[in-house]
């Protein structure tokens, strides 16, 4: 068999890689290869066509599924196989958890962290309708018909109509159906990236899982008739009484000039409130159009309770909450701490963190907007026993890791949504005298390849003898 693009071979998938692709082993012309294919799972037997050839590694596209994996189950939605947000709908949930647990163990073994205690993954109890935020895109399908829905997996511009998404509250399906009908019926058109023309960009829906209240943002371009857009929101407000807050975001995107955004509060409350229970206390957080909050409220409470458990606070500790955002982690730790200091670059996030602190009647939290290097140089903060970091997917810079180490905390709690960058940072911390002690995986995103991890990192000087 001559190996070239388009060559068809039969494979049986053995495992999933870190990207969520099914991986099989194949021998072609006496050479052993690993073969990765989207949309296949362990136990699947299929005919695939080779699409990329590298040394000892191939990528392929599914041609025909010959035998289904015993772990497959019927999907809830009709778009599971083309949507990047729910491709694992076709897998039994218990098996999804097994895959994620195994992958975490494998990756930590690869960076020689076998001494770390890896706890059993914490599942999400409500694996359907769990998301508290959804962003739907206006666009065009393959036939250039206007649609409102989600992007096809791996495709930047192609959008498909969503009718029955089961990851978010059912009101999301009702809202997108309304806006699809009313916007297109009134002559508004989706924005086209190719021509840089059109009226409509996105529909963002945020939900308090505690109260059921909803916030809606319709994102439009500078070409859109704002009076008409406000009129459509007015009609929606009469129909959807659960929606307490209505916004329009007007975005100007012209080639050669910076993108500008203007957020317009149209009607209702300016925000909604989410409530989660951490450390036995109900804590309230204000949700605005721009505020970051973990997209799974149930899982976020589990994450923050795990942070609290790892911190082992007695009430006498000073805690630093870096990348604090709107103050969620710091506020969750405050009742068990002597003092919490939160730091973030985004001023609006800090303003909301301060409001959230007042809302929860906390007097020993301090949130600062600024760069960590400058803040720790200019401010005389007391030494911290515990430092918490919840960085973006890219992780921490070596310079920031060095800065954290110079603070000499007894313990570092690291929350991560990207185990690859997390592992890179763990190795860097090890170079500075800190070791990964305990890792808790949390399944925040059922039916996807993604997961969250919470890590307890300790100084060698306070490690237990087993470490």
Q: In this structure, are 258 and 148 located in the same domain?
A: yes
Residue 258 shares a structural domain with residue 298 = no
183 catalytic, yes or no? no
Please give the distance of CA 17 from its chain centroid, rounded to a whole number. 19
> What average pLDDT score do residues 140-169 get?
88
Distance CA 416, CA 323 (A): 12
Q: Are residues 180 and 58 in the same domain?
A: no
Indicate whether 446 pLDDT > 90. yes
pLDDT of residue 20: 84
Regarding whether 146 and 109 lie in a shared domain, the answer is no
CATH assignment at residue 155 = 2.40.50.1070
Distance of CA 109 to CAs 21, 85, 104, 414, 432, Å? Answer: 20, 28, 9, 19, 20
Q: Clarify whether residues 339 and 447 are in a common domain.
A: yes
Q: How many domains does the chain have?
A: 3
CB atoms inside a 10 Å sphere around CB 423:
20
Average pLDDT of the residues in 289-301:
96
Q: Which of 172, 332, 417, 423 is catalytic?
A: 417
* Residue 377 domain flag: yes
pLDDT, tens only, 419-436: 999 999 999 999 999 999
pLDDT tens digits, residue range 246-264?
A: 999 999 977 778 889 999 9
Long-range contacts made by residues 31-37, C-beta under 8 angstroms, separation at least 24? Answer: 31/56, 32/56, 33/57, 33/58, 34/58, 35/9, 35/11, 35/59, 35/60, 36/60, 37/11, 37/13, 37/61, 37/62
**318 and 212 share one domain:** no
User: Are 197 and 311 contained in the same domain?
Assistant: no
What's the pLDDT at 324? 95
Both 256 and 325 in one domain: the answer is no
- The reported pLDDT for the residue numbered 114 is 66
Q: Specify the pLDDT at position 212.
A: 97
Q: State pLDDT tens for residues 207-251.
A: 999 999 999 999 999 999 999 999 999 999 999 999 999 999 999
Q: Name which of 192-196, 236-240, 432-436, 456-460 the model is least confident about.
A: 192-196
Q: Does any domain span residue 165?
A: yes
Task: Let me know whether 399 and 371 are in one domain.
Answer: yes
Name the percent of the chain lying above pLDDT 70.
98
In a shared domain, residues 121 and 137: no
pTM of model > 0.85: yes
Same domain, 354 and 331: yes
Assign residue 342 the CATH number of its domain.
3.40.50.150
How much is the pLDDT for 463? Answer: 42
User: Would you place residue 466 in the very low, low, confident or very high pLDDT band (cuts 50, 70, 90)?
Assistant: very low
The per-residue pLDDT for 467 is 32
| CATH number of domain containing 17 | 2.40.50.140
At 208, phi and psi to the nearest 5? -85, 115
- The answer to whether residues 249 and 163 belong to one domain is yes
Structural domain boundaries enclosing 424: 102-125+294-462
């Amino acid at each position: 068999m001559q190996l070239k693009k388009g060559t068809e071979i039969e494979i049986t998938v053995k495992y999933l890689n870190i990207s969520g692709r099914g991986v099989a082993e194949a021998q072609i012309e006496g050479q052993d290869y690993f073969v990765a294919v989207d949309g296949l799972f362990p136990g699947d037997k299929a005919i695939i066509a080779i699409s990329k050839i590298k040394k000892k590694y191939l990528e392929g596209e599914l041609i025909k599924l010959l035998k289904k994996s015993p772990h497959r189950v019927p999907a809830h939605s009709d778009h599971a196989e083309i949507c990047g947000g729910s491709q694992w709908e076709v897998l039994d949930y218990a098996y999804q958890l097994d895959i994620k647990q195994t992958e975490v163990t494998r990756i930590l073994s690869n960076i020689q962290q076998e001494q770390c205690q890896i706890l059993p993954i914490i599942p999400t109890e409500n694996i359907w309708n769990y998301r508290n935020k959804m962003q739907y895109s206006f666009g065009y399908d393959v036939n250039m018909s206007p649609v409102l829905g989600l992007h096809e997996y791996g495709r930047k511009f192609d959008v498909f109509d969503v009718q029955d998404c089961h990851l978010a509250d059912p009101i999301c399906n009702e809202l997108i159906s309304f806006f699809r009908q009313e916007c297109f019926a009134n002559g508004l058109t989706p924005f086209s990236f190719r021509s840089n023309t059109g009226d409509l960009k996105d529909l963002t829906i945020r939900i308090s899982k505690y109260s059921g209240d909803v916030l809606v943002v319709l994102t439009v371009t500078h070409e859109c008739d704002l009076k008409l857009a406000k009129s459509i929101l007015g009609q929606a407000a009469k129909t959807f009484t659960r929606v307490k807050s209505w916004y329009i975001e007007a975005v100007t995107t012209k080639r050669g000039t910076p993108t500008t955004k203007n957020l317009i509060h149209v009607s209702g409350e300016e925000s909604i409130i989410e409530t989660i229970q951490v450390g036995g206390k109900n804590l309230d957080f204000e949700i605005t159009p721009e505020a970051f909050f973990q997209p799974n409220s149930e899982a976020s409470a589990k994450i923050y309770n795990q942070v609290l458990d790892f911190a082992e606070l007695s009430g006498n500790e000073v805690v630093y909450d870096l990348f604090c955002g709107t103050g969620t982690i710091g506020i969750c730790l405050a009742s068990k701490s002597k003092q919490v200091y939160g730091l973030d670059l985004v001023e609006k996030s800090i303003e909301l963190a301060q409001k959230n602190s007042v809302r929860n009647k906390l007097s020993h939290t301090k949130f600062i907007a600024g760069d960590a290097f400058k803040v720790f140089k200019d401010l005389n903060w007391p030494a911290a026993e515990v430092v918490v970091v919840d960085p973006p997917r890219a992780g921490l810079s070596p310079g920031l890791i060095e800065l954290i180490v110079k603070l000499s905390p007894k313990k570092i709690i690291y929350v991560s949504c990207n185990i690859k960058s997390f592992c890179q940072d763990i190795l860097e911390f090890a170079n500075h005298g800190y070791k990964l002690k305990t890792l808790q995986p949390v399944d925040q995103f059922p039916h996807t390849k993604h997961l969250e991890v919470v890590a307890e990192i300790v100084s060698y000087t306070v490690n237990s003898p087993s470490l």
